Amino acid sequence: MTRILIVEDEPKLAALEADYLKSEGYETHVIANGLEAAPWVRANVPDLILLDLMLPGRDGLDICRDIRTFSDVPIVMVTAKVEEIDRLVGLDLGADDYVCKPFSIRELVARVRAILRRGRAPIAGLTLNDEKHEAQLDGRTLDLTPVEFRLLRALASAPGRVFPRDRLLEQLYEDHRVVTDRTVDAHVKNLRRKLGEARPGEDLVRSIYGVGYKLEL
């Protein structure tokens, strides 16, 4: 469960944000007093923080700086004035995004989602070692054949990008031998099986109907 900390002294706004985020499947916790924020983060380590700039007890800027001394958790700053934003960005507090009131809840949620997604960018847990021709997923070494390794490497070279079968075949062989598209499928099947053994219940290789295969982020 993804946990979001909302630091906001206006109760109605905090409740609204919490509602929307909950309906998106996030777990939320609201703190109204600036003094409590940093200690709570230290103790509970949320996945993202919505931080209001104007707060009783302690200033948002201050809190942000403080949190950054001990954590890289994504922070979204919420400010009341548009003009503030430029100044804030200039200060380089380490916040990940800025939203100014009045904002649309939808926009806020979209940004939160975008930032959280960006977080787990490099295919979590996948390591490719070219010299040793060895691949690891979540620390577990995968027992891949040469072709399977090259296939995985090709897909991993641009995670998320769709590779048509013929493009993959080019990547698979130096020479320009002519092989059927089915070959790709066969190897994908085996690759999937081995990836699945290392991380059950999740298919990292996704087929895009009518196009090709991609590695899921």
Work out whether 146 is an interface residue with DNA (CB under 7 A).
yes
Cis peptide before 102 (omega within 30 of 0): yes
Q: Which is nearer to its own copies, 120 or 140 (CB)?
A: 140
Q: Which is nearer to its own copies, 102 or 209 (CB)?
A: 209
Nearest-Å Rg of the Cα atoms of the chain is 23
Could you identify the residue written with the tokens 């944000």? 17
Q: What share of the chain is helix, strand, coil (3-state, %, to 5)?
A: 45, 20, 35
14's CB contacts (< 8 A; 6+ apart) are 6, 8, 30, 32
Work out whether 139 is an interface residue with DNA (CB under 7 A).
no
Work out whether 109 is an interface residue with its own copies (CB under 8 A).
yes
Q: What is the DSSP letter of 147?
A: H
Which of 53, 188, 198, 204 contacts DNA by CB under 7 A?
188
Which of 147, 156, 159, 217 contacts DNA by CB under 7 A?
147
Least spacing, CB of residue 86 vs DNA, in Å: 43
Q: Which is nearer to its own copies, 84 or 134 (CB)?
A: 134
Work out whether 171 is an interface residue with DNA (CB under 7 A).
no
